[in-house]
């Protein structure tokens, strides 16, 4: 079983719909991240959380929100999806000492 699990793996939705991407981890890590990947742009940080009570915006947080329901769960929401949010989204965890990130398999979102 994967240490970092993302659901759904693929989702097609329409403009204006609310979408939630979920991430759960079995690594026991406090730090969790949500990244967005677009062709030619690498991975860009949306939000990150260093523990359940700590949520921080990344470089491209506009249009997104997150919830850290427990140490093991970190969900990403698009309140009103728009086509330019079509991308591949990755959740990642980080342990101690900080450094290496452990990524999920990705959630491919298409907004029509």
Residue among 22, 67, 77, 103 that touches another protein (CB under 8 A): 103
Stretch that binds another protein, among 22-30, 64-72, 78-86, 94-102 (CB under 8 A): 94-102
CB 19 within 8 A of CB 13: yes
Give least dist CB 17 to another protein, A: 25
CB 103 within 8 A of CB 91: yes
Stretch that binds another protein, among 21-29, 34-42, 64-72, 76-84 (CB under 8 A): 34-42
- Residues that bind another protein in the complex, under the rule CB under 8 A: 4, 31, 35, 39-45, 48, 50, 58, 90, 92, 94, 98-106
């Amino acid at each position: 079983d994967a240490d970092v699990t993302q659901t759904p793996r693929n989702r097609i939705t329409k403009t204006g719909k609310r979408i939630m991407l979920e991430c759960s981890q079995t690594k026991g890590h406090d730090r969790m991240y949500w990244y967005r990947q677009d062709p030619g742009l690498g991975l860009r940080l949306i939000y990150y959380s260093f523990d359940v009570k700590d949520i921080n915006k990344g470089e491209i947080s506009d249009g997104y929100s997150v919830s850290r329901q427990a140490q093991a769960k970190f969900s990403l929401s698009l309140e009103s999806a728009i086509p330019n949010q079509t991308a591949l989204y990755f959740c990642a965890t980080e342990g101690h000492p900080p450094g290496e990130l452990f990524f999920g398999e990705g959630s491919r979102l298409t907004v029509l």
